[in-house]
Structure 1
Amino acid sequence: MTTAVLTPRAPAAAGFRAEAAPRAHRAVKIWLYTLAALVVAMAAVGGATRLTGSGLSITEWKPVTGAIPPLSAEAWAQEFAKYRATPQYQLLNEGMSLSDFQFIYAWEWGHRLLGRVIGFAFFVPFLWFWWRGRIDRRLALGLLGLGLLGGLQGAVGWIMVASGLQPGMTAVAPVKLAIHLTLASAIYAGLIWLAAGLGRDRAGGALPARLKTAALALVPLVLLQIALGGLVAGSKAGLTYNTWPLMDGAVIPPASTLFAGTPWIENFFDNVALVQLNHRLVAYALLAAALLHWLDARRAAPGDRAGRRAAGILGLVVVQALVGITTLLLAVPLWAGLLHQVTAMLVLGMAVAHARLSRTAPAA
């Protein structure tokens, strides 16, 4: 009589073993798309934090203990005292009540808590899938790279907040906000890229090379537009020139307005007229690029899924443009600002998935 000995499954050499079963790919895909959805939620909560003026309500960076909010009247009093010492309180919010402070604190605390949740949702399943052999070496390296970007994103977030706590500052520096938003968008794009490529043959499909190149080129164009949107948000440029298509009676304001500051290079980051104009111009460029790409895909690859994806991108870009115009005309109400930000992430996600799928074919 023999006795079977059960041992845990060991990972393959160097800790990675590819498992090509469709079920394995499906589980990893669900995980990656869930992470991408959490990043979109993070961006939305971050947008709400900015629009409600909540981003400077927590004056310290405590990655571990900061997960616990104030739980007593004494703890709330201590946190409120720290906020009252900030320039934002002294210059903008003097006389704020404790209940008003608790409102803005809740937004910032929720934003930071969601960041911790994303970190947990990334690393724990990553270790599990790695141990079960469902992540090959290439995918693992990509995921580790995104994990490092996530850690950098947390540090950039604190650097951004710290910029708003400096003497005379009542908000974070626009450039740091733009970097924070763009880095989050890049992480989101990386998750979509990896998820869309699972179970695909890297040899590629039969699309013409120019369509593949055009599909890929849309991604950095969308990222540039998101970065410019971060500058608009950080400089509050959306609260000026609330007309469309004209800006103070002109399609393009005079150079004396666009380059009023010195040195001239700083106008690209701090001059609300130039910041808003650049956001408008890249929006027009993105709309034209999406339209031309769709027309080319219809002609060069009739009946191919690439054409339908190109049509989806064009539709989302049109919706995003309309939402952006509405947001501008209404002087950035909370609901419109958040819708504009979330739709931008949807455009980016669709563009990344389209670029990835256009370069691959279903695995045999």
Structure 2
Amino acid sequence: MAQKRSIFEEVGADTRPVPPATPGLIDRGQGGARGAIRMWLVLIFVLVASMIVVGGLTRLTDSGLSITEWKPVTGALPPMTDAAWSEEFAKYQASPEYQLQNKGMELAAFKSIFWWEWGHRQLGRVIGLVWALGFVGFLAARKIPAGWTGRLLGLGALGGLQGAIGWWMVSSGLKGEMVDVASYRLATHLGIAFVILGLTAWYVLLLGRSEAELLQARRAREGKLFSLSTGLMHFAFLQILLGALVAGIDAGRAFPTWPDMNGQFFPADAFYVPGRPLWAAFFENPGLVQFMHRMAGYLLVAFGVVVYLRGRKSAHGATRTAFLAILCMLILQMVLGIVTALTAAHLHVAITHQLGAILLWVLILRARYLSQYPVAGSIREGTQ
């Protein structure tokens, strides 16, 4: 006979223990060593940024052609004896730069420029080694998150390509009557460096949050702002390439006046390069190259203002702050560019201008990231 039940009995009551919920199903099998890989990429980012700065100093000190051979392995060791130094110096003395520009240079002066170029190449080897050890280690330990193996391998491939492009650039200054490297090759070399730097920064930002957090954040994506910041990123990259063309032919030292260029808005003989076709002036005429860099700088700042005005309307406080930082850095970078021109590319000013380009590049990428993956603020904490 069935037992009578109380009308107040809770329906479906079950005294058995309920197992705890298992959160993070999206990240299951995808997490890997996100934190460790992120720190490894931060190290690579710092090394690549240092590489760009050392490369700039190598160019500004006219040291880039001091080593006339490409020896990726054996070149890691510098000359150890007087005889080795004499042999290295003799190779440089056979180069066009020595014959046409540095005739009579003594061994002590040669050593000074040699160390800049050797240090630049050595830093490249260090970056390659850090990448290889990290990638192989994480891969062997099966700690790379799902979908990240190709991205991390791609960074290494770009690094290897960059080494080859570096020699392609240097070799252009070791033949004919060239006393500098070809400016378009220098621009390619610097451009790839900023691509590597940008990808590394983007990966560091992505690894700062879990896949589930990124998926949740993307639901609040600000598409228009993301598109504008992407356009600003491309424009800034173009300006970086133009800056490399300026550095490649020492155009920054040719017109130490502002806002005019030696008394003119548009420089005289801007399309003239002896013995070269008209198109070559866009790469080899100092006046035209610097004019393009100046005009692009003004337009970049103007576009940056437009992007900021849109960014300040974002519903997310972190995003608004990120676009304000871009605007401030754009203005500072323009001032640094003007001072660089007025001082005829003084070493310290010019390298500070290059550092400004790195910082601006990263700030644009961060604002773009926050447009794609906004950080939700809190009204209670005043971060909305």
Report the TM-score, using the length of structure 2 for normalisation: 0.85
**8 Å Cα contact 1:18/1:134 also seen in 2:** no
Partner of 1:330: 343
Deviation at 1:141, TM superposition (A): 0.8
Identity of aligned residues (%): 42
1:294 corresponds to 2:297: no
Deviation at 1:352, TM superposition (A): 1.5
Deviation at 1:136, TM superposition (A): 2.4
Residues 202-351 of structure 1 aligned to structure 2 (within 5 Å)? 202=215, 204-253=218-267, 257-261=269-273, 263-299=277-313, 301-351=314-364
1:20 corresponds to 2:31: yes
Q: Secondary structure of 1:93's match? A: coil
Q: State which drifts further: 120-129 or 100-109.
A: 120-129
Cα 1:263/1:144, change in 2 over 3 Å: same
Deviation at 1:36, TM superposition (A): 1.1
Equivalent position amino acid for 2:359 in 1: L
Q: Secondary structure of 1:241's match? A: coil
**Number of positions where the alignment pairs a residue of Structure 1 with one of Structure 2:** 342
Considering Cα pairs closer than 8 Å and 6+ residues apart, tell me whether 1 or 2 has the greater RCO. Answer: 1
**8 Å Cα contact 1:197/1:360 also seen in 2:** no
Point out the structure with max Rg over C-alpha: 2
Question: Aligned to 1:355, which of 341, 345, 368?
Answer: 368
Residues 119-138 of structure 1 aligned to structure 2 (within 5 Å)? 119-138=128-147
Question: Aligned to 1:37, which of 46, 52, 69?
Answer: 46
Report the TM-score, using the length of structure 1 for normalisation: 0.89
Task: Measure the CA separation in 2 of the matches of 1:263 and 1:348.
Answer: 34
Task: Measure the CA separation in 1 of the matches of 2:371 and 2:201.
Answer: 14
Q: State which drifts further: 194-203 or 61-70.
A: 194-203
1:116 corresponds to 2:130: no
**8 Å Cα contact 2:184/2:283 also seen in 1:** yes
Partner of 2:149: 140
Deviation at 1:202, TM superposition (A): 4.5
Unaligned 5+ segments in structure 1 are: 1-16
Question: Aligned to 2:165, which of 156, 161, 166?
Answer: 156
User: RMSD of aligned C-alpha atoms?
Assistant: 1.8
Deviation at 1:356, TM superposition (A): 2.2
Deviation at 1:253, TM superposition (A): 3.8
Cα 1:357/1:127, change in 2 over 3 Å: farther
Equivalent position amino acid for 2:258 in 1: W
Task: Measure the CA separation in 2 of the matches of 1:242 and 1:205.
Answer: 50
Equivalent position amino acid for 2:325 in 1: G
Equivalent position amino acid for 1:339 in 2: T
Cα 1:322/1:118, change in 2 over 3 Å: same
Unaligned 5+ segments in structure 2 are: 1-27, 377-384
Equivalent position amino acid for 2:272 in 1: A
